Amino acid sequence: MKNQGFTLIELLVVITIIGILAGTILIVYGQATASARDARRKTELQQIGRMFLTTCYMPKSGPGSYDLAALADELQNKYPQYSGKLASLPGDPKLKTNERSYYEYAVSEDGTKCAIYANLERENEPVTLPGISNPTPGGGTGVLQSSADGWNGTDKYFQVSN
């Protein structure tokens, strides 16, 4: 009478194949998730840009770069018609906290140029703003490659600017 079980080698081969398949699925899932979060960032920034970039807002602290969460109260006072939208200000889908949105607003010295930007997750995002290497008020709308990695671990940023 023959044993009808599997040998140790057969079991190890099956376990190895399952491990390889599971690893591949996790990698693909991670890339799809990062792509979805980047798409959300772009959409939210474009919506915010349509709402606020027609006339740049000069924060009380003056020109510079600010997290949108830090400006929420000021923006609600300046634009009461948008207070409903500002009450639940969007933020980075991976990192947002109550204190920080990880969506940055930058305004020029003279207050005529402004930009809203976020760090993307996908390293292979195509650059559409090759002329700038940092988020720049008045620099256009698109993806730029910075000289340093941002909070999401890549050197790619998406900005919406007037």
Give the chain's mean pLDDT: 89
For 118-157, write each residue's pLDDT tens digit.
999 999 999 999 999 999 999 999 999 999 999 999 999 9
Q: Which two tokens stand for residue 47?
A: 């919506």
For 11-34, write each residue's pLDDT tens digit.
899 999 999 988 888 877 777 889
Contact 129, 139 (CB under 8 A): yes
Which pLDDT score, from 0 to 100, does residue 132 have? 95
Q: Where are the domains of the chain?
A: 14-161
Residue carrying structure tokens 């980047």:
38
pTM of the model: 0.80
The share of the chain scoring above pLDDT 70, in percent, equals: 95
How far is it, in rounded angstroms, from Cα 98 to Cα 67?
Answer: 11
Q: Three-class SS of residue 140?
A: coil
